[in-house]
Amino acid sequence: MSDQNPFHIAQQQFDTAADILGLHENIRAVLRVPQRELTVNFPVKLDNGSTRMFTGYRIQHNLGRGPVKGGIRYHPAVDIDEVRALAMWMTWKCALVNIPYGGAKGGVIVDPKQLSMGELERLTRRFATEISILLGPERDIPAPDVGTNAQVMAWIMDTISMHRGYTVPAVITGKPINVGGSLGRVEATGRGVSLVVREAVRRLGGDLEGLRVVVQGFGNVGSTAAYLLDQMGCKVVGVADATSAYCRPSGLDIGAMRTYTDRHSFRLLEGYHAPGVERISGAELLELDCDVLIPAALENQINERNAGRIKAKLIVEGANGPTTPDADNILAERGVTVVPDILANAGGVIVSYFEWVQGLQEFFWDEQDVNEKLERIIIGAFDHVWATAYARKLPLRTAAYLLSVQRVADANVTRGVYP
């Protein structure tokens, strides 16, 4: 993994778009940094009776287009600059698909796999209490991210509801269905990735049948994308999660691998065996001979050290910030098409928006409605980015940033500076 600072990368990407757009220094100064940052240090009682201190963050990048939206991450490598970057990327992502949110992100420095269920619940409820001064359906609406899930979101929703004295389902998205979650939300990000792969392959003149795909990350995003692409006729030849990586040139049985992870704690691939399947390193997985590479894990996975050895001709970013700017340059020189994160993985926030709307109205849609609306929005955004890139002879990432940054800048300029 590259040691580049993710927030500096996010700012560099913004600066590139701002330069091309000719943004005035005043608005550039506003958009280049987060609007609000909250750091909390809080105690949690462990099962053995001891008390341990944890550090967490909630950062709101920009509120110009509406309340802020963004996940909460539980991971030992969380730091404030990572959360700043993720919040900024959320602002651009929401603007690109034209939903009325600004960007935010949260995180706690913790390995959730090291906590019992009771400890995880106590940590979640205390963290939710600490950041509750920022949260609300009209203010800041968190969602799941790395290391969190629907159950964690339910605890946050319940905690905020206890503070208010009434149930507030729209304060969080990614909840279980039985407490106000949306059908289709769990699969939304991976479904969006698969749709973007389909559209990009079509635009590049290819065919999905037999297309060799490698997926780094086998959580909700990676496993769903792999499964849906397999159903479309692609051949998924390599997958990996945090514990292990596997490949088979003839194609992996993604259904069997999903069944395996469903049966094991923390849904991990560790220990998976099947005829003809070879276990390889995570570094080798990224460099497998394939047509499409989907990095769906963490930031900075494709960097200046490995970009020259990647064999895929199409990269679709299921994770946030998986490709560094140096790697972007190397890939562009080699003719590799990169569909950026703020477009490729926007399916999650699109359906989170649907969940929020349903929660506010207390009127729920069926899964077909959700999936059809998701496809219409993400394909519309893809078409707009592709047309902009073609017309201006720009990489897809730069084209996406031009569209999203302009929308956010326009909203902020129209609203003006208070007071």
Q: CB of 302 within 8 A of CB of 332?
A: no
User: Which tokens in the block code for residue 268?
Assistant: 């991990």
**Among 176, 110, 114, CA closest to 149:** 176
Query: What SS3 state is found at 285?
Result: helix
Residues in the chain: 419
Indicate the residue type of 184: G
Beta strand pairing status for 36-45 and 51-62?
A: antiparallel
- Residue 105 annotated as catalytic: yes
What's the CA gap between 158 and 30, in Å, rounded? 34
**Sheet (strand 102-109) strand order:** 36-45, 51-62, 102-109, 68-75, 140-144
Spacing of C-alpha 271 from chain mean position: 27
Q: Other C-beta atoms within 10 Å of 28: how many?
A: 17
Contacts of 390 (CB under 8 A, 6+ apart): none
Which amino acid, 165?
A: G
Q: Helical H runs in 204-324?
A: 220-231, 254-262, 282-286
- Is residue 321 within 8 A of residue 299, CB to CB? The reply is yes
In the numeric block, the tokens 């069926």 are attached to 366
Edge-to-edge strand list for the sheet holding 245-247? 278-280, 245-247, 235-240, 212-216, 292-295, 314-316, 337-339
Instruction: Output the CA–CA distances (angstroms, integers) from residue 49 to 44, 61, 121, 128, 389, in the order listed.
Output: 10, 38, 15, 22, 58
Catalytic residue among 69, 93, 105, 235: 105
Cα 267 off chain centre by = 18
Q: Which residues contact 60 (CB under 8 A, 6 or more apart)?
A: 34, 35, 36, 37, 68, 87, 102, 103, 104, 134, 140
Residues forming the active site:
105
